[in-house]
Every structure is written in C-alpha cells, then in structure tokens.
Structure 1
C-alpha cells in the first residue's frame, strides 16, 4: 500500500514537472505576443531608432499620464518623441481672451523631460478648435492679426526651449489645392500663414517649424499647390523647416509609395524636412475579412511608410496618432494602432521593429 501511494506521488510530481516544461516552451516560442518594454532593450522602437538618430513617436493624452501605468510604461520605453494630442489646440490652451490653460500640456512636457524625449507641439493655427470668444467677437483684420500673434507668441514663448518642433499651420490646403476656408483666411487673408511662421520663429528661434496636413501622398494636385506655396516661403526666407504628413489611412486604401518618395525628394531639394506626424491605419473594413488578414495588411502599410521615410534622408521622424487601440480617438473597431487594447504588440509593431532592424543592418 505504501509503495502504491509513493508511486502515485512520484507520478503526480512528474506530471507537474512536464506541464511546467511545456508552459515554459510555449512562453519562449511565442516571442511575438510579448515585448520587453524596458529601456535599452534591442527590440524596442526607441532603441532601434536612436541608433540612427531617428525619432519614433506618438500623440499623448495628458489625462492618461495620470491614470494608466501601462500606457506610460510603453510611451517611456518605446518612444523618443511624443506629441500633444489636444492639449495645445487653441480652444483648450486659450479658452478665454485673457486666460491660458497650460497645465495639461505642462504635464506632457514634464513626462517627456523625465523620459528624455523631445516634444512636437500640435497645433498653433487651425480652422477647427477655434474658441467661441474668437469666432463671435466680430474683430476686424488688425484685431485678428493681434489676437493670432499674441496667441502664438504666448504659447510658443511659454514653452521656449522645451518644444523640439511645432505644427504651426494645420490643414490649410483643400484636396483641390485651394486655401481652406477658416476664420483666419476670411479676416486676415492668405498672409496669415506666412505671418504665423514669422511670429512663431520670433518667440523661439531654435524650434523647428512645420506645416502639417493629410492626403498629399495620393493627391498630387494638393501636393503641388502646397509645394509651390512652401517653395515660395523658402525662397522668401520665411522661417519654415518642414512638412508633416499625417498619414491617417485604412487598409483598403492604396498608397503609392513611389509617389510618396518622389514628393519627399522634391521637398528635400527645396530644403525642407519631412516627418510622419499622425499615422494610424484603420481596419474595420472590409467587415467580411478575417482579423489576421487585416492585421497583416495593416502591418505591411506601417512597414512600407516607415521604409519610405527611412530611405529619404530628409525624413526625420515617424509619429503615430496614439500607441494603443484602447485609447485611440478613432472609432474603436478600426483598431488602428500598433499595440492592442490589452497593451500587447500587434503585427504592426513587429513590422516597424523589423523595418528598423533591416535599415540599421544596411547602414552599418
């Protein structure tokens, strides 16, 4: 009887040991369901980007810096650049004529400084997010110029030396290549764009100044109009350093990567930098396609855009409009970002890692 009990105990112990070994093997072989988020890890985007003095970043929500430790851990370990998502838009940072609200944006600056990251300030001038006090004030041209100048120089001056690059103008060109209707265009006229760059430069001469927009990669009519405007600025010594390609897209949309590269080359010849500034790739449609298939398509688009950027010397940053599907400002089923809603890396994350690794290997 004693021997039977002993044999049974030994049998149970052997079963437990075997099960533990199998679990360890599963953990070790499924390498692409987990990622070490510690700084300095060679599989992080940040580590790979910094080897080539390149920036990888994400838009950041200041409220989440207070409430989600998983969110902040990924941001700090994976990225060497962050961008303000909403905190520097006119209506939030300057809600009343004589009142500025810097606290939310200050939190992002503090986080960046703590994690040795640079910051993109988004955005100084846009047709949207204009506060009611500006829209309903019935101000004349000179008054509107003064309002805009004071706003730009107060905000840029507050963050002087702390912002690496500003999106000075956001989305001022339509898909037809015309100036987008806005309160700034109606009251000040087309010169508001040039003036905004001049005023921002006066407030912080060391900050890079960008024009930021979406859709140029597949629309040469829009790109050509923008190119003519920015080339005119460069020829006239208007202080502009580059153009931001937002790259909001979706898996069913074709992108002409050769055309995108040609645009980058034209901008380089004009002396302008390029940065990818708001990339996300929606995959809600087509609804009848499997998730693995859609995830693979998303990964390929992320990889190809990054590859196009890396192969053009004037493309200096790759920034996404968020880092995790849990907090995307888009319609949730789009799942447009590189970490899923449980903070696990998706195929899109690994496609970026592998693209950076391949680029670094070629550049040795």
Structure 2
C-alpha cells in the first residue's frame, strides 16, 4: 500500500485544455458532480463508472468499515462507483485473528454495502507481509506447518466470498525495489514457490475469480516491474492460474509522472493477463494551491488515458475517493490532498479531468 522508491523526475507533457479547465474550476466555476440518470442519460449526468463502462472498464473506490457510518460519504460511494475494494477488512489480521478462527463480519459488511448498490467487490488481500495476526508472526513454524496454515487461510477466505468477489489481490507487495523477492515470513520458510501455491489454492476455492499480483512502484518500467514481468511469464508457462497484475498507482507530484505507464501496461497485456490500476492516489506537498491541483488533475487524466489505451487494462480504483479518509497524511508527513474529492466531499479539478478523459466515447467497430 505504500510507495517509497521513486523514478527520476519527468516533466509533464503539455495539456493546456486540462490546465485551463482546472483553473476555471478553481476560480469557482465548477459544479457538483451530476447524479446518476440511468439509461438514455446525457454524458454530463453519467457517473465515473458509467463513463468507464462505455469503454468496457470499471471505475471503483476503496472504502473501510468506519466510513460506512458517514451518510453523505456513503451516498457518493454507492452512486459514483461500480466496484468497491475493502481497505482492511479482508486482510489476514481481520479475517483470521486466531489460528483457525475466522471472522468475516467486517468484510461481509463491505460486501453487503456493495451488493445493495449493485457494485462488484475486489478482494484485498489474501497474502501480505503486513497486518498479519500476532499468533502467526510470533510462531515458529516448520515449512509443512506454514504451508498448511497458508493453504487453509487462502481457501477458507476465498470459499467464503465465492460468487461475491470477482477478483482477488492474492499476493501483495512480494518484491523489493531492486526486483529481488521480499524476505517475508512465507519466503523465508517456504521459498518463492509459496506464490504459485497461493494462486493455485485460490483458484481451487473459486475457479471464476480473477487472481492478481499487486504492488506499488511498478507503474514505470524498471527493476521491480521487470521482476513481476518475469515472474508472471514463468507462472503462465508453468500453468499457474494468474490472471492479472495490479499496479497500485500511489503517485506524488514532486517525483514526476511515470511516463512509460502505457507501455508498461501493454507489455503485461502481451503476456495475456489483465492489468488494473488498483489503489490510485496522487499526493502533493501541502498546502495545495491552484497550480498543484491543476497538475494533479492532469496526472489523473493521464493515468485514465493510459488505461483506456490498453485493451486489457480492465479498470481503475482510487484508494478511497475523498481526502476526508485518505491514508496519506498519516504516513507521509506534510503531504496529502491526494484524491479527486476534498475533505468536504466537493469535487476537485481531478474529478473533472477524469470525467473528461473517460468522456471520449469509444469508436464502434
């Protein structure tokens, strides 16, 4: 979920229309996002997911359980987005707080919200080095013991949500920045084969779910994304069920836009796997100002355009949609304002830039 290592700065390409529109919005000319209008709607009344759906994509948001008590927030969450990702309630510490004792209460709450609003759910995440329960991290496990624990966890969680979760981040953040394997508990005990095992077990539990590897700092072509490219190529050659690669998309204005994002998405598509932008936010050094918000809007448009340009980029998820619930300020001191809506649920220039990028209707073939 975090982004640390960064590419060399790259100058943003000129997009005067987006910058002028953003400036106009900041001057007070913006209007609130239009409500959903159903079939036969005008483009102006469509939600972000409606517009994405016209391109065969989804547009989603992450959420977390405490936020579901915020009625103005949930009204937008339920209306604007086609998919929901639970930020924390499907992670290991939430779903198996004691060995062999599973608790799906919080995950079910998110699923129930999504189903009530006719939204699909991306599962996040079956296997991660962080947010593991104490009983697991404090134990001393043989390879056979840990393998049995991992299999039971993956299959129990996936079976519980069978038919309710359309895609899973099976293995999350398993590579270091230099492209070597992260030496987490599972790697140190089981070796790299644990990744293929987890994918196979998840597929056995729900053969219809799409299975992803997911990480940060992989938006550009470099050692880390190269490592995933080689891993997925090998997994495919070995017949392992891997269906997608998730590029989290935690970006920061001060470090430059990943200019070869589209090329990177395309090379994974060429391996015959889907890609998705799974945790997008674009932070800035605070305070925000008109120039930063205009540049942020441009970046959101460019991320959207890169996904639309690659046929197997299936969707975009923002890591929650409002600055009210962003994780950024707690982890990056002095940074924030990363999402398309501000703390007061007012749409920012980024929102309108995303709409503009999605609003170009696909050509009929």
TM-score range relative to shorter protein:
0.7 to 0.9
Contact 2:341/2:351, CA 8 A, preserved across alignment: yes
Distance across 1 between alignment mates of 2:184 and 2:329: 26
The equivalent residue for 1:352 is 354
Structure 1 residue 98: Cα displacement:
2.6
Whose radius of gyration is greater, 1 or 2? 1
What is aligned with 1:62? Answer: 65
The answer on 1:184 being equivalent to 2:186 is yes
In structure 2, the partner of 1:216 is: 218
RMSD: 1.7
- Tell me how far apart the structure 1 counterparts of residues 37 and 122 of structure 2 sit (CA, whole Å): 21
Distance 2:160 2:37 in 1: 30
Partner of 2:73: 71
Q: 1-side partners of 2:167 and 2:37: how far apart?
A: 24
Corresponding residue of 2:6:
none
Q: Give, in whole Å, the separation in 1 of the partners of 2:28 and 2:289.
A: 19
Structure 1 residue 263: deviation in Å?
Answer: 1.6
Query: Which of 194, 207, 210 is the matching residue for 2:209?
Result: 207
Note the C-alpha offset of 1:33: 3.4
Instruction: Check the 8 A contact 2:37/2:46 in 1, yes or no.
Output: no
3-state DSSP class of the match of 1:125?
strand
Q: What's the secondary structure of 1:33's corresponding residue?
A: coil
Return the alpha-carbon distance in structure 2 between the equivalents of residues 38 and 70 of structure 1: 16
Note the C-alpha offset of 1:218: 3.2
Secondary structure of residue in 2 paired with 1:63: helix
Match of 1:271 in 2: 272
Query: Could you say if the C-alpha distance between residues 216 and 338 of structure 1 is closer, same or farther in structure 2, counting changes exceeding 3 Å?
Result: same
Superposition pairs of residues 1-364 of structure 1, within 5 angstroms: 32-38=30-36, 40=38, 42-65=45-68, 67-257=69-259, 259-285=260-286, 291-331=289-329, 333-358=335-360, 360=361, 362=363
CA separation in 1, counterparts of 2:55 and 2:295? 27
User: Deviation digits for residues 74-126 of structure 1, max 9, x if unmatched?
Assistant: 11111001101000111111110132110111011111111111110000001
Distance 2:87 2:153 in 1: 18
Cα deviations by residue, 1:179-209 (Å, 9 ceiling, x for unpaired): 0010011111111001000000000000000
Change in Cα spacing, 1:141 to 1:89, as seen in structure 2 (3 Å) is: same
Give the conservation status (yes or no) of the 8 Å contact 1:61–1:84. Answer: yes
- Aligned partners of 2:266, 2:55: CA distance in 1, in Å? 20
Measure the CA separation in 2 of the matches of 1:247 and 1:275.
Answer: 10
The 8 Å contact of residues 33 and 344 in structure 1, kept in 2 or not, is answered as: no
Select the structure with the greater relative contact order (CA < 8 A; seq sep ≥ 6): 2
CA distance in 2, matches of 1:211, 1:56: 19
**CA deviation digits over 1:274-325, x for unaligned, max 9?**
000000011125x5xx611111111111110110000000100100101111
Residue pair 1:43, 1:353 contacting (<8 A) in 2 also: no
Task: Give how far 1:53 is off.
Answer: 2.5
Unaligned runs of at least 5 residues, structure 2: 1-26
8 Å Cα contact 2:55-2:308 kept in structure 1: no
Distance (Å, rounded) in 1 between the aligned partners of 2:232 and 2:208: 20
1:282 is paired with a residue whose SS is strand
Deviation of the 1:361 alpha carbon: 5.4
Residue 256 of structure 1 and its aligned partner are, at CA, apart by 3.2
CA distance in 2, matches of 1:272, 1:354: 27
- Contact 2:93 2:132 (8 Å CA) reproduced: yes
Q: Deviations over 1:191-249 (max 9, x none)?
A: 10010000000000000000001112235111111111110001111000010000101
- Once the two structures are TM-superposed, the CA of residue 52 in structure 1 deviates from its matched residue by 2.5
Secondary structure, aligned partner of 2:328: coil
Greater mean deviation of Cα atoms: 152-161 or 211-220: 211-220
